Amino acid sequence: MKIECPACHQAIPAEDASLETGWGKCRRCGEVFKLADVLPGYTPPAPAAPAVPERPFDAWAVLERDKDRLAIQIPAQGMRADTWGLLGFATFWLAFIAFWTAGALGVFCPGNQARAIHWENAIFAAFSTPFWLVGFLMLGGVLWAARGSRTAYLDASILQTQLRCLVWRRRKTIERSAVQHAREAAAGVRNNDTGSSYFPCSAEIIYEKGSFRLPCASAPEQKWLIAQINDFLQSVPYRPSPDTDRSQDFEWQRNRE
Domain residue spans in the chain?
Answer: 1-45, 62-78+149-239, 81-144
How far apart CA 56 and CA 224 sit, in angstroms, is 8
Instruction: List phi, psi (to 5°) of 110.
Output: -60, 135
- Give me the pLDDT at residue 110, please: 60
- Give me the pLDDT at residue 255, please: 44
Render pLDDT for 82-96 as a digit per residue (tens, 0 to 9).
Answer: 778 888 998 999 999
Average pLDDT over residues 116-137: 81
Helices 81-104, 129-147: inter-axial angle, 10-degree rounding: 160
- Give me the pLDDT at residue 191, please: 41
- Give me the pLDDT at residue 196, please: 40
Quick check: 230 and 65 in contact, CB under 8 A? no
- Give me the pLDDT at residue 242, please: 63
- Residue 145 or residue 179, greater confidence: 179
Average pLDDT over residues 240-245: 62
Average pLDDT over residues 32-51: 74
- Name the average pLDDT for the chain: 80
* Structural domain 62-78+149-239, CATH architecture: Roll (2.30)
Nearest of 155, 175, 172 to residue 163 by alpha carbon: 172
How far apart CA 117 and CA 224 sit, in angstroms, is 61
Render pLDDT for 132-161 as a digit per residue (tens, 0 to 9).
Answer: 999 898 888 888 778 888 999 999 999 999
Asked whether the whole model's pTM tops 0.85, one would answer: no
